[in-house]
């Protein structure tokens, strides 16, 4: 269905707004994918904070002008599905990677993060990034480790003395 000028402007505006706040972008060719698989992927995208959109490449090219995704302009070829990460940098990559296992027709074309265009082979690396909660958990465990070690070190002389006295008591009792 052809879009009129106002609809095209609305699509460009919507994608530009999403691109301004997005952490990363994954583009995949979806040609030949079934409706059921695409519907499942859209449902999972809503749950994980990923903005999925199929749009004309010329409209996307206009929408990303002036954003950090301007580098993708030359890579927009063929029918593409655009997945923008809203929550954390790896959520779109995890979504596409998980659904590409079940859908042979879903082929990643490129990944963009931090103003640079990366090859499709970088999808696994981006998908392996921790979520925000996982990153906070890792940071807190690193910050907590020295304090725990200090507490164990300070408590050890008292514990050793207690064990020694208990051993002497047991030896005299026997």
Closest CA to 98 of 127, 130, 122: 127
**What pTM does this model have?**
0.74
pLDDT at 83: 92
pLDDT digits (tens, 9 = 90+) for 31-82: 888 888 888 888 988 898 899 988 898 898 998 888 888 888 888 888 889 9
Greatest CA separation found in the chain?
Answer: 98
Closest CA to 27 of 120, 90, 130, 128: 120
How far is the C-alpha of 151 from the C-alpha of 16, rounded, in Å? 52
pLDDT at 140: 92
pLDDT digits (tens, 9 = 90+) for 9-34: 888 889 888 888 888 899 999 888 88
pLDDT at 82: 92
Closest CA to 75 of 89, 88, 86, 64: 64
- Dihedrals φ, ψ of 9, to 5°? -65, -40
Integer distance in angstroms from the first to the last C-alpha of the chain? 94
Distances (CA, A) of 78 to 30, 56, 107, 172: 10, 9, 12, 87
Using only C-alpha atoms, what is the Rg of the chain? 26
pLDDT digits (tens, 9 = 90+) for 75-129: 888 888 999 998 888 888 889 888 888 888 888 888 988 888 888 888 888 888 8
55: which DSSP letter? Answer: -
- The CATH class that applies to domain 5-129 reads alpha beta
pLDDT at 1: 59
Distances (CA, A) of 140 to 99, 104, 131: 32, 40, 14
């Amino acid at each position: 269905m052809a879009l009129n000028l106002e609809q095209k402007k609305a699509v460009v505006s919507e994608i530009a707004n999403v691109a301004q706040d997005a952490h990363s972008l994954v583009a995949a060719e979806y040609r030949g994918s079934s409706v059921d698989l695409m519907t499942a992927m859209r449902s999972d995208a809503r749950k994980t904070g990923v903005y999925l959109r199929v749009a004309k490449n010329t409209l996307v090219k206009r929408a990303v002008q002036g954003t950090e995704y301007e580098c993708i302009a030359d890579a927009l070829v063929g029918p593409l599905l655009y997945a923008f990460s809203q929550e954390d940098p790896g959520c779109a990559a995890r979504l596409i990677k998980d659904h590409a296992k079940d859908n042979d027709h879903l082929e990643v074309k490129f990944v963009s993060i931090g103003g640079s265009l990366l090859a499709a082979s970088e999808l696994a690396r981006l998908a392996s990034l921790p979520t925000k909660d996982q990153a906070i958990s890792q940071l807190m465990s690193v910050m907590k480790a020295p304090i725990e070690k200090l507490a164990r070190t300070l408590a050890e002389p008292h514990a050793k003395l207690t064990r020694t006295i208990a051993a002497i008591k047991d030896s005299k009792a026997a």
